[in-house]
Amino acid sequence: MLPASPRSASVSIAILTAVTLALLVLTTAAPVATAGDAGTGSGIAGPDPGDAVRQSNEGTENRTLVAMKPRILELFPNPTAAENRGEYLVVRLPEQGNWSLSDGYHEASIPANASGVVALSMDPTNTTALLDDETASAGRGGVGEPVLRELDGYFPLAASGDRIELRRNGTAVAVVDYDRAPEGHRWRADWGEWRPRGYDPRPVARTENTTVTPFVLPDSPQVPVDPLRAADDRLLLAGYTLGSERVADLLVGAADRGVEVRVLVEGSPVGGFSARSARLLDRIAAAGVEVRVLDGDPERFRFHHAKYAVADGRAVVLTENWKASGTGGRTNRGWGVVTGASRSSSVGETTTDEATDGKTAADDLAALFREDATAPDARSWSSFRNDTEFHESGTANGSYPVRFEPPAATTADVELLTTPGNAADRLVARIDAADDRVLGVVPRTGGADNRIVRALRRAADRGVDVHLLVSGAWYDRETNRALVDELADEPIDVAISEPRGRFGKVHAKGLVVDDAAVVGSLNWNEGAATENREVMLAVEDESVANFYARAYAADWRGGGVHLPVGLLGGLAAAAAGAGAVARREVAFA
């Protein structure tokens, strides 16, 4: 490449300067949805967890100078107390002075002798407990413990959204715009998002050289429960629902032989909590099993939709619920994986403890279980049962042929992905890095503009072989048909499943991306990615990816997997290229 001429360089500098000045003028004139210095557009307090944007200017400036700037550090407009008693905000004042707050309708003076990190409230008596609770549950992010001061004037914080200005001598020096504040959620500048009490984003946990056994349902209903049957030390089971008599028997049996058994389920599943589940959990709890239900207030997640188990050193991660239609093999096409012994490390921004070698995928899931089961929104079974109405529901009883036996265990590297937090970002990153193939299966999506579907479309546009299989169940068919029609002119292949007696309906949530597979509970909609507790496991191994790809190809065509004629004769002689042959043998004709 030829070096740029002095003239072109000077022109570039001039253009860059002009653009920068223009942007400064625009952002100063219209500081919409910002959190930071007035008019700089440095962050957003969005309407839901995950929608807020982290303040960006503090990472590039001298930390001493930043600490001297007046800022709005924290908002708590919507506590769970009646009439939002105790609501507060926290500001940073570099020195004493003529400070005030304004939302365009109300103004309130800040005590003239206030400086440093200051919590401001109209009701300090009730705010004290809220501040103490916040410090105990989340720390202070390095900004220091705030001094609580009473506002001089009426200044309510609107739960429905507001624009708050921190003023000095009547001039705005820091601004926060926010939309709806979810009940019980706080916004902090160091978070850049709304968070409920007890929620802590988790890093991706990577586990190396672990034994892995993939399987599909309804073909292999014994595989996900075998680890439960063999547990000697610990047995932790987490789910959206629990409706399987067989699973209940195994949990009770484990408790009877002295295993530590704990169960965690969602308290408000769509359609309500079934009487069948209640009867099973009554029996499980009576056997001495600790049963916890995520149904407290404020809730950290819209739904606890994760489906996994930890049995001693083994972990089971599923797309299916712990009931007959799922793990019982009675209806759903599902994917799952069992992991064994390994060593692990965490990736991304982690602490030393998170990066300690010697942990297994089971240990990482056990840590997640403990975090969720002991959080403030987790209730005991007895407490939940006393004020919950249950309803009767049916049980699936289908019977289907075994087409895909699980392969022999192999060794692979795996990543534990969770939401809210890292799972959706990680899926999109994997798809964006795909070179060869992306095979996606979900019951339904959030539409063509869903971020994961957009990633599939980008991959198809750059020549990657991309297929998306969705459910043909009656309640999904209209939505999925619309998606097929919308993407008909794009290079991505989308099909609606036709089980043809091999299973009842598609319920799997999975991906095959080149030589990796991702399995878990995450549906492809924004609510699942940002509001639910979801768990997925990414397995980096070609043989595992090919196992799922073969089952996928059969589901795509509604029949068996066939080798292309051109590969049959040369298969035995192709040992050197076995990986490439194995991938190409999956046909979608």
Q: In percent, how much of the chain has pLDDT > 70?
A: 79
Q: Is-contact 207 347, C-beta < 8 A?
A: no
Helix, strand, coil percentages (3-state) for the chain, rounded to 5, are 30, 30, 40
pLDDT of the residue at 249: 98
pLDDT of the residue at 360: 92
Q: If you average pLDDT over residues 148-176, what whole number do you get?
A: 96
Q: If you average pLDDT over residues 340-350, what whole number do you get?
A: 59
CA 557 to chain centre: 31
pLDDT of the residue at 357: 58
pLDDT digits (tens, 9 = 90+) for 452-466: 999 999 999 999 999
What's the mean per-residue pLDDT of the chain?
83
Q: How confident is residue 91, by pLDDT bands cut at 50, 70 and 90?
A: very high
Q: If you average pLDDT over residues 521-525, what whole number do you get?
A: 95
How many whole angstroms separate alpha carbon 82 and alpha carbon 23?
43
Q: If you average pLDDT over residues 175-186, what whole number do you get?
A: 91
pLDDT digits (tens, 9 = 90+) for 182-198: 888 899 998 888 888 77
The answer on pLDDT for 565 being more than 60 is no
Handedness of CA 185, 186, 189, 190 (dihedral sign): negative
Q: If you average pLDDT over residues 111-117, what whole number do you get?
A: 95
Q: If you average pLDDT over residues 332-353, what whole number do you get?
A: 69
Q: If you average pLDDT over residues 546-565, what whole number do you get?
A: 75
Q: Which residue has the higher pLDDT, 47 or 102?
A: 102
The answer on pLDDT for 578 being more than 50 is no
Q: Is-contact 312 231, C-beta < 8 A?
A: yes
The answer on pLDDT for 497 being more than 60 is yes
Domain boundaries, the chain: 34-195, 204-566+578-584
Handedness of CA 330, 334, 339, 344 (dihedral sign): negative
List CB contacts of 23: < 8 A, sequence separation 6 or more. Answer: none
The answer on pLDDT for 277 being more than 50 is yes
Q: If you average pLDDT over residues 143-155, what whole number do you get?
A: 90
CB neighbour class for 533 (10 Å; exposed up to 12, middle 13-18, buried from 19): buried
List CB contacts of 263: < 8 A, sequence separation 6 or more. Answer: 236, 237, 238, 239, 242, 251, 281, 284, 289, 290, 291, 292
Q: If you average pLDDT over residues 256-281, what whole number do you get?
A: 97
pLDDT of the residue at 93: 96
Q: If you average pLDDT over residues 540-553, what whole number do you get?
A: 97
CA 482 to chain centre: 26
| Phi/psi at 355 (5° precision) | -100, 15
> What DSSP assignment string belongs to 564-585?
-HHHHTTSTT-GGGHHHHHHHT
Q: If you average pLDDT over residues 66-71, what whole number do you get?
A: 77
pLDDT of the residue at 208: 94
Q: Is-contact 289 255, C-beta < 8 A?
A: yes
Q: Which residue has the higher pLDDT, 116 or 41?
A: 116
pLDDT digits (tens, 9 = 90+) for 360-396: 999 999 999 999 999 989 999 999 999 999 988 777 7
The answer on pLDDT for 308 being more than 50 is yes
Q: How confident is residue 491, by pLDDT bands cut at 50, 70 and 90?
A: very high
Query: 204-566+578-584 sits in which CATH class?
Result: alpha beta
| Phi/psi at 248 (5° precision) | -60, -40
The answer on pLDDT for 344 being more than 90 is no
How many whole angstroms separate alpha carbon 567 and alpha carbon 194?
55
pLDDT of the residue at 472: 94
pLDDT of the residue at 12: 44
pLDDT digits (tens, 9 = 90+) for 226-246: 999 999 999 999 999 999 999
The answer on pLDDT for 351 being more than 50 is no
Q: How confident is residue 8, by pLDDT bands cut at 50, 70 and 90?
A: very low
Give the tokens for residue 148.
Answer: 């609580």
CA 574 to chain centre: 42
pTM of the predicted model as reported, rounded to 2 decimal places:
0.76
